[in-house]
């Protein structure tokens, strides 16, 4: 059985489950949209490593990317923007609440 609320929570947690990805979220929150090369440089990692982690954040719906053509040049660069503005509340109670929305029940429990 599929459950949108739990799948969304799991996707966000998976996207955020690495210290480098958490650092990327913090950097984009503070700095706004940035190019891949800027993110890699700011965090002291290779562009290839940064791209792998940014793709994971993108698939989790936390960032989005777009290609920007600069000054009519044939060079296109990818810019990343933090799109997730939500709050992630995580506790056994919040997980039970999400599950309750899927399978009924109040999600109550031990309190």
Which of the listed ranges 30-34, 67-71, 73-77, 93-97 does the model predict with the highest average pLDDT? 30-34
Closest CA to 84 of 111, 64, 62: 62
Closest CA to 63 of 86, 82, 40, 49: 82
Q: How far, in Å, CA of 35 to CA of 41, rounded?
A: 10
Q: Which two tokens stand for residue 34?
A: 């940035």
Per domain, the residue ranges of the chain are 4-100
Tell me the average pLDDT across 68-75.
74
pLDDT band, very low/low/confident/very high, at 74 (cuts 50, 70, 90): low
Place of tokens 């506790």: 91
Is the pLDDT at 1 greater than 70, yes or no?
no
The CATH architecture one would assign to domain 4-100 is Orthogonal Bundle (1.10)
Tell me the average pLDDT across 53-68.
95
Q: Which two tokens stand for residue 15?
A: 């996207």
| Residue 40 vs residues 6, 80, 89, 95: alpha-carbon distances, Å | 32, 12, 29, 34
Per-residue model confidence (pLDDT) at position 111: 46
pLDDT band, very low/low/confident/very high, at 110 (cuts 50, 70, 90): low
pLDDT band, very low/low/confident/very high, at 28 (cuts 50, 70, 90): very high
Per-residue model confidence (pLDDT) at position 45: 98
Q: How far, in Å, CA of 82 to CA of 65, rounded?
A: 9
DSSP 34: E
């Amino acid at each position: 059985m599929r459950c949108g609320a739990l799948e969304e929570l799991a996707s966000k947690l998976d996207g955020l489950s690495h210290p480098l990805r958490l650092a990327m979220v913090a950097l984009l929150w503070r700095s706004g949209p940035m190019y891949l090369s800027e993110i890699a440089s700011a965090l002291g990692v290779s562009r290839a490593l940064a791209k792998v982690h940014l793709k994971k954040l993108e698939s989790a719906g936390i960032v989005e990317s777009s290609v920007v053509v600069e000054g009519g040049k044939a060079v296109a660069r990818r810019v990343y923007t933090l799109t997730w503005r939500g709050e992630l509340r995580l506790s056994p109670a919040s997980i039970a609440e999400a599950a309750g929305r899927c399978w009924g029940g109040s999600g109550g429990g031990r309190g």
